[in-house]
Structure 1
Amino acid sequence: MHLYSRYAFRGLYYGNSAFAACEESNMPSLSDMMGAMNWECMFPVRIAGTRIDPYRDETDNIDQSNMDFNTIVNASGSNPNDSDSSDVFCKCESAGVVTETPIGITVSFWEPTRVIEVVKDSFCFPLLGSDLSGEITGSDADSMRQSKDGTVQVVKPGVQQSFWQAHYYVFPIMAILEVLTDFICMDFSAFDLGYMTEVDPRWDDSELSALLTPETVLFANPVAQLACIPDVMAATVKYTINTLYWCQGAWAKVFPLTGFVTHTGTPVQSQAAILGRTIYNLHRSFVLWGTVGTEAMCHRVPMPIWKKGQYKWQLLWPKRDTKCRVIGEPGFKWSSNKNPPFPDKNPDNFVNLLWRKRDCCAR
């Protein structure tokens, strides 16, 4: 028996949900998406241990390796990732054999490589400018759309949940724009739709998800969530605590890995929680790998447990966020006016750009 009672009507909790509809005529173009990107998010850059950041000000001086937590939570500004290396030179080997050009210099930067859509309307693809719901046929198509669209009411009195779908794209914007094409550290994968939750049987089945991710039993409970309080405080000052991997700062918890989110704040913050869950889910499935730390200098490494500090993200659509945010950053800092309540703006269907930290041995 499912833990949730589902209702396929809109506006139960979010006023905007009454208008949520995927209309191709209202979707942005790819050029609009690219124009919404904030290229300042590429910084800070480190070359041979030297930090380069033209946008850094005097308040932006947090160093995770040299500060205790009490100092961090009382600081402001954006901090460097905790894997930054002060080394100038690096060396790469392959299976114990030194490569042809073994010596290089350390490079660290942020690259925009992935897009994650979080939508209320199943088979709505704003990045592609398409609504494929009409193309889905079969005996279960209607029931699938009805059960997965809109909001969800939980049996427990006073507690409501929303349900979201997510789509993961390989989006190598640098390769598309042919920027730094001769730089060995860049990701030049081909554009691809790599994952969509509509076809994942775990996404709307909490029992199946818990069965396949048994750690849910350990972390999807009030006691484990109390440990997330420091992560909430840290996310408020743009810091992530990687060891608390089951926490998402001020967002809804990571587990269970489903599309159901208990209402926390606004729809924009709820979709952000799904963004984080999707990243974690893809790491656990070895779709996303580690790109930070000395072990990732020469090649990506398996990372089944995510490091939240490897990522920051920017909301591109329906309303652009002018800054990049860390995982779990409280919605009161950024979510205002990011979900226009007008049908022609395709509310409740979001496009998020994922910036990934890259530590590399350039040689």
Structure 2
Amino acid sequence: MKTLFRKIFRLKPVWLLLVLAFSLLVSSPARADAGPGRCTGKFVNPITDICWSCLFPLSIGALDIWPSSRPDPKNPALPVCLCGLRPGIAMGFWEPVRLADVSMKPWCFVNLGGLKIDPGFDIGYRSISGPSAIGGASQYYSSWHVHWYAYPLIYWMEIVADFLCLEAGSIDILYISEIDPLWQDSELTAIINPEA
């Protein structure tokens, strides 16, 4: 143990600062760990975790190329179309471009490998409450959080040769329920969504 300390203190100050900064980055804050359970998850494997048969039915114009039991939206009768000013072939298939995860642990991004984020402010941490007497009955409640991602898989994997009309981009977080004031407040939600 003494030799380890001697080696650390022999390092130049720049290296010592880098080692300290790395140790601060690796350590996780206590508040991000609050709540039930651990934040676990895994990255989506585009080969094994995607329902590739869900892309079908495949059609070109009104012609069915690869039928399926899944519904097929109405396609144009002519296979030739314009995407902007560029002519192309009208193909119909289901494109996986969105990804969602659900977690009981606030700020836990399951689809990003179980990544925990500490936002630096106290929001979204209402997770589970024990029994509470409301009207003489014990009730339990739990709060789930949803994260919605952009995930244009076919564009990334370059499965279709022409990308002009495919949704392009990179993985992005589109919605985080922890910062939505309407997510866990029924009264506020009733103002915007009274049907809910």
TM superposition score normalised by structure 2? 0.66
Query: In structure 1, what residue type is equivalent to 2:104?
Result: K
Q: In 2, are the aligned partners of 1:120 and 1:165 still within 8 Å (CA)?
A: yes
CA contact (8 A) 1:168 1:195 kept: yes
Partners of 2:130 and 2:56 in 1: CA distance: 40
Task: Compute the displacement of 1:84 (Å).
Answer: 1.2
Instruction: Say yes or no: does 1:39 pair with 2:52.
Output: yes
Structure 1: runs of 5 or more not aligned: 1-17, 57-77, 94-98, 220-254, 256-363
Residues 190, 152 of structure 1: alpha-carbon distance in 2 compared, 3 angstrom cutoff: farther
Specify the structure having the higher radius of gyration (Cα): 2
How far is the alpha carbon of 1:207 from its aligned partner? 0.8
Match of 1:28 among 29, 36, 42: 42
Residue 200 of structure 1, CA deviation: 0.9
Q: Does 1:150 align with 2:100?
A: no
| Structure 1 residue corresponding to 2:184, chosen from 204, 214, 217 | 204
How far 1:158 moved relative to its partner?
A: 7.9
Q: Is the 2:56–2:70 Cα contact (8 Å) retained in structure 1?
A: no
> What's the counterpart of residue 119 of structure 2?
136
Per-residue deviation, 1:175: 2.5
* Counterpart pick for 1:88 among 53, 78, 81: 78
Contact 1:42 1:111 in 2 (8 A): yes
* Partner-residue secondary structure (3-state), 1:166: strand
Change (3 A) 1:50 1:159: farther
Counterpart-to-counterpart distance in 2, 1:152 and 1:92: 58
Cα distance change of structure 1 residues 87 and 160 upon mapping to structure 2, 3 Å threshold = farther
Please state if 1:107 is matched with 2:94: no
Percentage identity across aligned positions? 28
CA deviation map 1:153-195 (0-9, x unaligned): 6846587554211111111112222322424332112221111
CA–CA distance in structure 2, aligned partners of residues 44 and 125 of structure 1: 32
- The 3 A distance-change label for structure 1 pair 162 and 52 is farther
Q: Within 2, Cα distance between the matches of 1:38 and 1:131?
A: 24
- More RCO (CA 8 Å, sep 6+): 1
Equivalents in 2 of 1:176, 1:152: separation in Å?
45
**Structure 2: how far apart are the matches of 1:90 and 1:192?**
32
Which of 165, 177, 197 matches 2:157?
177
RMSD: 3.1
Q: Is the 1:121–1:150 Cα contact (8 Å) retained in structure 2?
A: no
1:13-33 deviation line (CA, Å, top 9, x unaligned): xxxxx974214xxx32443x6
Offset at 1:91? 5.0
TM-score, normalised to structure 1, is 0.38
Q: Distance in 2 between matches of 1:79 and 1:87?
A: 20
**Is 2:148 the partner of 1:168?**
yes
Amino acid at match of 2:110: P
Query: How does 1:1-363 map onto structure 2 within 5 Å?
Result: 20-23=37-40, 27-31=41-45, 34-53=47-66, 56=68, 78-81=69-72, 83-85=73-75, 87-89=77-79, 91-92=81-82, 100-101=85-86, 104-133=88-117, 135-138=118-121, 140=122, 144-145=124-125, 147=126, 149-150=127-128, 155=134, 157=137, 161-213=141-193, 216=194, 219=195, 255=196
Give per-residue Cα distances to partners, 1:139-161, cap 9 Å, x unaligned. x35xx41x2x2368684658755
Aligned length: 160
For the residues of structure 2 that align with 1:169 and 1:19, how far apart are their CA atoms?
Answer: 24
- Structure 1 residue 113: Cα displacement: 0.5
Partner AA of 2:71 in structure 1: P
Shift of 1:86: 5.5
Quickly say closer, same or farther: Cα 1:91–1:179, change in 2 above 3 A.
closer
Question: After alignment, is 33-42 or 84-93 more displaced?
Answer: 84-93
